[in-house]
Amino acid sequence: MKPWEKASVNLGGTKFEITATPCKHVLGGECVGFVFTTEKFGIADNGKPNAIYFTGDTVYIDELSKIPEEFNIVAALMNLGNAKADIPGGPFQITMDGKQGTRLLRTLKADCLVPMHYESWRHFTQFGKDLAHDFEQEGIADKVHWLTPGKSIKIL
């Protein structure tokens, strides 16, 4: 899917509407994020559909500010870790750090942030402890839901 394209999918008897969102990752590479809605998520007081947003691999880009124009983001699943690609002319930042994640959370007006994909690879430069420090400094630690492999948590 290309950014802002929409598609419908039926999963387990539930119809989901998916909207692709733009990403900025490795130069020339294709990457998209997604906004997921379904009637089961309901409609927010502002009249917009409640949605879950998955960033995909990206740094903060201004174009993401279009998301809250159409959706009420209740959970933002963010690939973080401040990954760096060591390519000619680089290294280039290819995933958000904690401060960019905070900025995006505020831009989206999201209810919560779920950090993901920040400790799995050698090219990450900001791990969980450092992300938690940024979130605490930025005053959003109470909105962050940390995942633990193999354990379920209730986010919404």
Domain ranges of the chain: 6-143
Q: Tens digits of per-residue pLDDT, 31-87?
A: 899 999 999 999 999 999 999 999 999 999 999 999 999 999 999 999 998 888 888
Is a pLDDT exceeding 80 seen at residue 28? no
What is the CATH number that goes with domain 6-143?
A: 3.60.15.10
Q: What is the pLDDT of residue 60?
A: 96
Q: What is the pLDDT of residue 124?
A: 85
Find, among 8, 13, 90, 99, the residue nearest to 60 by Cα: 99
Distance CA 12, CA 9 (A): 10
Q: What is the pLDDT of residue 111?
A: 98
Q: What is the pLDDT of residue 30?
A: 79
Supply the pTM of this predicted model.
0.93
- DSSP-derived letter for residue 119 is S
